[in-house]
């Protein structure tokens, strides 16, 4: 029986292409998939997790703190993090200590008109005390009313007695409760959100990235 020979044309070219895929395209696809998955997690945290778990009074600022560092072919790892230090305890829970002597907790109806409203710059603790309109008594920071300010203004003209009458009539509003520390429960769910996105999207993102890598590879 005669011998039958089989010859594969282009075997060298196929081998070269496979080497290129292993050396260049798989790292490219991996880096792209990592970065895309981190981007998915970033979007999920910004649009869903933060708005679900917090009342955001400076939404754009808080969301901007969620940053990613893309992966590269040379470094097949990426990073997602919240760069705002004050958010760390929201993830882990724990005791929050004041930067100064006490933590000023805004009172709804005082410093904060509603649970979702912003505190005016003029009503922030340092500004309030610096203006002379604020005073502290029994662990509460109060704001004096407009009559007190007018009484001080006309004290030289009307005399101390008139000023004291103004103080007596002045409306006083409780603005802040001053506490030495605060206990925070973990509620951010940052890590959980990232793990959720990796589990849901990694395979799809890698498959898509590998197709892009092969199609755009330089021949």
- Return the SS3 of 105: strand
The reply to whether 91 and 105 lie within a common domain is: no
The structure tokens listed for 130 are: 């610096």
In terms of domains, do 108 and 49 share one? no
What is the rounded average pLDDT of the residues 125-146? 91
Number of domains the chain is built from: 2
**122 & 133 share domain:** yes
Compute the distance between CA of residue 117 and CA of residue 154 in angstroms, rounded to an integer.
Answer: 34
Residue 2 lies in a domain: no
Q: What is the largest CA-CA distance in the chain?
A: 130
Structural domain boundaries enclosing 75 = 11-95+184-216
16 vs 89, more confident:
89
Per residue in 20-77, pLDDT tens? Answer: 665 678 899 999 999 999 999 999 999 999 999 999 988 999 999 999 999 999 999 9
CA distances from 12 to 17, 24, 97, 195 (A): 9, 18, 67, 42
Q: Which residues contact 96 (CB under 8 A, 6 or more apart)?
A: 89, 103, 181, 182, 183, 184
Residues 174 and 150 in one domain: yes
Residue 132 has pLDDT above 60, yes or no: yes
Whether residue 166 is contained in a domain is answered as yes
Query: pTM of this prediction?
Result: 0.75
163 in Cβ contact with 151 (< 8 Å): yes
**Residue 9 pLDDT grade (very low, low, confident, very high; cuts 50, 70, 90):** low
pLDDT at 219: 57
Contacts of residue 14, Cβ cutoff 8 Å, sequence gap at least 6: none
Residues 145 and 188 in one domain: no
Q: What is the mean pLDDT of residues 117-140?
A: 92
User: Are 151 and 165 within 8 A, CB to CB?
Assistant: yes
The answer as to whether 128 is a domain residue is yes
Co-location of 188 and 91 in the same domain: yes
Do 102 and 159 reside in the same domain of the chain? yes
Note the pLDDT of residue 200. 97
Best-predicted range by mean pLDDT (99-103, 129-133, 191-195): 191-195
The Cα–Cα gap between 162 and 177 comes to: 31
* Residue with token string 């990694």: 202
Q: What is the C-alpha radius of gyration for the chain, rounded to an integer number of angstroms? A: 31
The pLDDT assigned to 12 comes to 57
What was the pLDDT predicted at 141? Answer: 95
Are 51 and 108 part of one and the same domain? no
Residues 26, 88 within the same domain: yes
Q: Is residue 1 part of a domain?
A: no
- Is 107 inside a domain boundary? yes
Same domain, 30 and 90: yes
Q: In this structure, are 124 and 110 located in the same domain?
A: yes
107 and 48 assigned to the same domain: no
Taken in order 197, 203, 204, 208, is the CA torsion positive or negative? positive
Give, to the nearest 10 degrees, the angle between helix 26-44 and helix 190-216: 140
Categorize the per-residue pLDDT at 79 as very low, low, confident or very high, splitting at 50, 70 and 90. Answer: very high
Q: Per the domain annotation, does 4 fall within a domain?
A: no
Tokens of 207: 């498959």
pLDDT tens per residue across span 154-205: 655 555 555 555 554 567 899 999 999 999 999 999 999 999 999 999 999 9
Report the pLDDT value the prediction gives residue 116, as an integer from 0 to 100: 83
Q: Is residue 135 part of a domain?
A: yes
Q: Is 69 helix (H, G, I), strand (E, B) or coil?
A: strand
């Amino acid at each position: 029986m005669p011998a039958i020979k089989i010859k594969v044309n282009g075997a060298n070219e196929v081998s070269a292409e496979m080497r290129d895929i292993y050396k260049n395209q798989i790292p490219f696809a991996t880096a792209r998939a990592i970065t895309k998955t981190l981007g998915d997690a970033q979007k999920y945290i910004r649009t869903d997790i933060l708005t679900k778990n917090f009342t955001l009074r400076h939404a754009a600022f808080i969301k901007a703190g969620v940053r990613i560092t893309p992966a590269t072919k040379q470094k097949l790892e990426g990073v997602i993090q919240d760069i705002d230090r004050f958010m760390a305890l929201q993830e882990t829970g724990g005791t929050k200590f004041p930067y100064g002597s006490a933590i000023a907790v805004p009172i709804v109806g005082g410093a904060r008109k509603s649970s979702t409203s912003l505190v005016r710059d003029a009503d922030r603790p340092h500004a309030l005390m610096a203006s002379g309109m604020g005073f502290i008594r029994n662990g509460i920071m109060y704001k004096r009313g407009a009559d007190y300010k007018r009484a001080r203004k006309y004290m030289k003209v009307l005399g101390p007695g008139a000023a004291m009458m103004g103080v007596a009539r002045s409306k006083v509003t409780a603005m802040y409760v001053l506490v030495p520390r605060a206990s925070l429960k973990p509620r951010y769910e940052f890590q959980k959100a990232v793990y959720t996105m990796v589990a849901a999207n990694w395979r799809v993102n890698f498959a898509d990235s590998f197709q892009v890598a092969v199609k755009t590879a330089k021949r």
